[in-house]
Amino acid sequence: MDLIEIFLESIGTLTINKMRTALATLGIIIGIGSVIALVSLGQGSQKAVAQQIQSLGSNLLTVMPGSQSSNGVRGAMGGSTSLTLEDAKAIAASTEITAVKNVSPELSRRAQITAGRNNTNTQIYGVTAIYSEVRKTTLSSGSFITSRDVESMAKVAVLGPQVVTDLFGENANPIGKTIRVEGLALRIIGITTAKGGSGFQNQDDIIYVPLTTAQKLIFGVKYISTISIEAKSENVMTDAQNQVGYFLLARHKLNDPTQADFSIMSQNDILNTASQITGTFTALLSGIAAISLLVGGIGIMNIMLVTVTERTREIGLRKALGAKKKIIITQFLIESIILTFAGGILGMVLGVIISFIVSKIISLPFTIAVSSVVLAIGVSGVIGIVFGWYPAQRAASLQPIEALRYE
């Protein structure tokens, strides 16, 4: 009796009790499905974050207020007020700093915006004219904030396309119209090109205003929240980071670099931090999914034990007719492997469908890692062996006379 015959026989046996087979498989389907869906969504969001961070430019440094922690991650964002516009101006003006091309001071905060009857809550960016060059912002219509706007505290705003849709409806052209931010009326002078994307910062759901307007007229603060620095090239990133770092230490009259009241991160630092966070989340969620897989495996074992008891007479007969232990074990193991393997394949399909739908809904890039698919199918096979082993052993060690007598 070869494996193919045993396999065909097992398929026959499993189709007799279709409902039970389906329910036993369901546990594995759900387990494998959720592992695949969560892993691929995790990888998708990791990819989205990476794309977004890289789209900002690879020779970008970000100076943020607050103390440096052990692995380069700051404490509470915006919790510190140690950076000022003067810091940014001094960096730009310094002759010691040679590796830096552009310096863009920024102040960002959330605020309520109204236009007529509509209102939305979005991110306000106080910026200077250089921002559009450093952050590669392009406009679909109108013009960006100019140096003169910043000097004169002009009451103007550049809107992201999402904000335009929220306030004026789709495909509207609101240039020249007025919006109100914290009671201050601003005239719309430009609209940025749609960048798409979402994740932790939607580039389309932003309003840009002159930095001075934001500081003095809207929020009434003196500090800035970040200084974006564009290095002359990717190769001088380290130089730029060091030069800016020592310059600011001296300017803030600090001797010990560990006492710095600011931190400088490159895009790579941010990328690493972000992927560490998403990686941890993915691992955690996959761990939970793996538990459901384990429960599914126990379900398979349960069903197989019931099957062995039900078929005691059959097993006895097979042994009386000359079936050796190995054949009985193989027969029951193959049955449980078919159950888990079928569950694995169906679960994989389910997982792919779920992650496809979810990634469309929350607009993440859709990725299916081959490794996770191979792993899930391999794992489902292994579950069949592990949880089928005990029932199969039990079947094989039945004594033929006892089994034949069993009613």
Residues lying near another protein in the complex (CB under 8 A) are found at: 1, 5, 12, 16, 313-314, 317-327, 400-401, 404
Q: Which is nearer to another protein, 265 or 395 (CB)?
A: 395
Instruction: State the CB neighbour count (10 A cutoff) for residue 393.
Output: 15
- Closest distance of CB 286 from another protein, Å: 41
How many whole angstroms separate alpha carbon 329 and alpha carbon 395? 7
Q: Which is nearer to another protein, 187 or 324 (CB)?
A: 324
- Closest distance of CB 322 from another protein, Å: 2
Q: Which is nearer to another protein, 7 or 281 (CB)?
A: 7
Instruction: State the CB neighbour count (10 A cutoff) for residue 253.
Output: 6
Instruction: Tell me whether strands 178-181 and 184-192 are parallel, antiparallel or unpaired.
Output: antiparallel
φ and ψ of 228, to 5 deg: -90, 130
**Closest to 88 in 3D by CA, of 75, 71, 66, 107:** 107
Q: Dihedral angle at the C-alpha atoms of 78, 83, 85, 88, nearest 10 degrees?
A: -120
- Closest distance of CB 374 from another protein, Å: 34
Beta bridge partners of 314: none
CB half-sphere exposure, 104, CA atoms < 13 A: 26
Q: Which is nearer to another protein, 12 or 176 (CB)?
A: 12
- Closest distance of CB 3 from another protein, Å: 12
- Closest distance of CB 312 from another protein, Å: 12
Q: Which is nearer to another protein, 24 or 323 (CB)?
A: 323
Q: Which is nearer to another protein, 288 or 320 (CB)?
A: 320
- Closest distance of CB 321 from another protein, Å: 5
How many whole angstroms separate alpha carbon 279 and alpha carbon 281? 5
CA distances 262 to 37, 57, 119, Å, are 39, 21, 35
